[in-house]
């Protein structure tokens, strides 16, 4: 382990200001670029109170979406996120304080969202937690169960509630699960078997749901980020390890918080209509070595 300073990309973890898409400009886009826009669509972003979820919500707003519902446990962050994003873009952004492990609350919330917006097209499942530096032989089983309950069961509960609505209304929607490169490789040096297992399960769940729901026109894909510079990784215990992470990343840095946005927009939009069951890794090349 080393105490060398962390390499941080310029602009990391800084809240950027989102800009609205001028509808007049959309009309002048080429057919290829127009497919990336989200006019009239409505999205749910879980874990959108901060971090990658909030940034992807900004990306959806910049692609011209009609409405975004942010679901998060963190009430203050969620309220602030919704307020700021609607002020910045004019998009109808609402915050719903909900724990994704509470399936009854999730179903009620999805219903409220549909009642308010009148439709539901996109889900980004970004809510999740991480447990790091937890050797398997001493891992507390209650912690293990809690993490699986959030990262896997909770995300399934939201996907199920959303898909039921899409099936009922015959909406050809898009579900995007935020997995992790940890679902494909074992991180080093920190021991985090439960997190890795949860994300491998998210990737397989994504593929299974994609196969099951293709008949309804619902697409399900996963994004697997490498190390991103968010609050999840800004815990003192991880500081010494970050230098090792960047040394093992060919691009030599952590990902900036908005570096999933463009792929999220593509997967949410008609720019990816023949993509389903894919797991796309965005990791600065970490999994190459």
Ligand X SMILES: NC(=O)c1ccc[n+]([C@@H]2O[C@H](COP(=O)([O-])OP(=O)(O)OC[C@H]3O[C@@H](n4cnc5c(N)ncnc54)[C@H](O)[C@@H]3O)[C@@H](O)[C@H]2O)c1
Active site residues: 180, 195, 199
Is the Cβ of residue 37 or residue 180 nearer to ligand X in the bound state? 180
CA 186, CA 189: separation in Å to the nearest integer? 9
Is the Cβ of residue 9 or residue 154 nearer to ligand X in the bound state? 154
Place of tokens 């949410």: 268
Q: Which residues lie near ligand X (CB under 6 A)? A: 46-47, 49-53, 72-74, 77, 99-101, 126-130, 150, 154, 178, 180, 225, 227-228, 230-233
Contact (CB, 8 A) for 58 and 45: no
Is the Cβ of residue 64 or residue 255 nearer to ligand X in the bound state? 255
Is the Cβ of residue 180 or residue 249 nearer to ligand X in the bound state? 180
SS3 helix, strand, coil % of the chain, rounded to 5? 45, 15, 40
Omega cis (within 30) before 189: yes
Least gap, CB of 24 to ligand X (angstroms):
33
Six-digit token pair at 219? 């697409």
Contact (CB, 8 A) for 226 and 249: yes
33-55 residues labelled b (16+ CB within 10 A) or e (exposed):
eeebbbeebbbbbbbbbbbbbbb
């Amino acid at each position: 382990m080393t105490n060398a300073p962390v390499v941080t990309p310029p602009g990391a973890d800084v809240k950027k200001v989102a800009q609205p898409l001028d509808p007049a400009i959309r009309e002048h886009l080429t057919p290829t670029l127009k497919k990336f826009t989200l006019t009239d669509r409505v999205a749910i972003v879980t874990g959108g109170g901060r971090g990658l979820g909030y940034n992807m919500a900004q990306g959806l707003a910049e692609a011209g979406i009609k409405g975004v519902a942010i679901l998060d446990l963190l009430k203050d962050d969620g309220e602030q996120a919704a307020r700021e994003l609607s002020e910045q873009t004019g998009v109808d952004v609402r915050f719903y304080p909900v724990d994704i492990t509470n399936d009854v609350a999730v179903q009620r919330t999805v219903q409220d969202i549909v009642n308010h917006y009148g439709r539901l097209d996109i889900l980004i499942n970004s809510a999740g937690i991480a447990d790091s530096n937890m050797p398997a032989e001493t891992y507390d089983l209650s912690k293990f169960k809690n993490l699986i309950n959030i990262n896997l069961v909770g995300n399934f509960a939201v996907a199920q509630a959303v898909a039921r609505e899409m099936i009922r209304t015959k909406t050809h929607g898009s579900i995007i699960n935020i997995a992790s490169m940890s679902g494909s490789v074992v991180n080093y040096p920190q021991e985090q078997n439960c997190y890795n297992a949860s994300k491998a399960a998210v990737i397989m769940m994504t593929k299974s749901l994609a196969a099951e729901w293709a008949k309804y026109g619902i697409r399900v894909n996963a994004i697997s980020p490498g190390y991103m510079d968010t609050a999840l990784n800004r815990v003192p215990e991880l500081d010494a390890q970050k230098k090792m992470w960047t040394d093992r990343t060919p691009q030599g840095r952590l990902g900036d918080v908005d570096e999933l946005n463009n792929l999220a927009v593509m997967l949410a939009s008609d720019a990816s209509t023949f993509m389903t069951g894919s797991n796309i890794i965005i990791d600065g090349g970490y999994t190459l070595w």
